[in-house]
Amino acid sequence: MFRHLMRRPGVQAAACWLIARYIQLVWRTGRWTIIGDEAPRALKNAGTPFIAAFWHGRLLMTPYALGGESANVRVLISTHRDGRIISRAMQYFNIDTISGSSSRGGAGAFRRAARFLRHAGVLGITPDGPRGPRMRASDGVIALARLTGAPILPLAYATSRRIVLGSWDRFIVPLPFARGTFIWGTPIRINRDADREAARRTVENALNAAAEQADSLAGQPAIAMER
């Protein structure tokens, strides 16, 4: 019944509005610290495109880290119904999306993402989405960085009060009135002749390190990657 309801445009629109308002509530009632934002700020000021990579389970609060209201930002989102809902919610934060995934519309989405990065944009990507394995980076983000020359910046957040869902990605729902921390990692540049597997592991390890650091600072247990 729930799935049937979510197919209705009116219900989807209401869900997007509620998600956006909840994100705003969590942000406005929280006490937030941002670590390492010198790197993305310097790249934005220089007009240099970059890829912001974050795990699928830590997607919810990223609009505030990406700075959609003051930057040319897009996020690569799957074409699944859940992806469409997230896409519409992102629009409340002045963030456009590029629809596509490894299973649907992947080639077209890759081309659009590469074209966007060539115009000094900030592209958000979940390297383990849309289906996992959890916290395991796919080759897509590496291929995109190699083609465009855009650096990859790991991004993670955690909050002192949260609910971790039992979904494949262990999706984090931060609660209002919490302490929150965003962690930006060091930019990772992938050369055109770089070994793909070595580069993939580098990105994966950096993302997991950022997530673990964020959890530790928030006083939360780390979420384990899927083996």
Does residue 226 belong to any structural domain of this protein? no
Q: What pLDDT does residue 6 have?
A: 52
Give SS3 for 32: strand
Render pLDDT for 7-50 as a digit per residue (tens, 0 to 9): 666 777 888 999 999 999 999 999 999 999 999 999 999 999 99
Which residue type sits at 134? R
Q: What pLDDT does residue 125 have?
A: 95
Q: How many domains does the chain have?
A: 1
Does residue 224 belong to any structural domain of this protein? no
Q: pLDDT over 70 for what percent of the chain?
A: 90
Helices vs strands, H then E, count in the chain: 8, 9
Residue of 174, 186, 152 whose CA lies nearest to 35:
186
Render pLDDT for 57-79 as a digit per residue (tens, 0 to 9): 999 999 999 985 556 899 998 76
Give DSSP secondary structure letters for 151-202: PEEEEEEEESSEEE-SSTT--EEEPSS-EEEEEE---B---TTS-HHHHHHH
Which position has the higher pLDDT, 153 or 45?
Answer: 153
Does residue 42 belong to any structural domain of this protein? yes
Give DSSP secondary structure letters for 59-84: -TTHHHHHTTTTS-EEEEE-SSHHHH
CATH number, domain at 98? 3.40.1130.10
Does residue 18 belong to any structural domain of this protein? yes
Q: Is the pLDDT confidence value at 5 over 50? A: no
Residues β-bridged to residue 184: 155
Which position has the higher pLDDT, 120 or 181?
Answer: 181
Render pLDDT for 81-108 as a digit per residue (tens, 0 to 9): 666 788 788 889 999 899 875 445 578 8
Q: What pLDDT does residue 11 have?
A: 74
The pTM score is: 0.92
Does residue 225 belong to any structural domain of this protein? no
Does residue 159 belong to any structural domain of this protein? yes
Does residue 176 belong to any structural domain of this protein? yes
Instruction: Give the chain's radius of gyration (CA, Å).
Output: 17
Q: What pLDDT does residue 216 have?
A: 98
**Structural domain that includes position 208:** 2-217
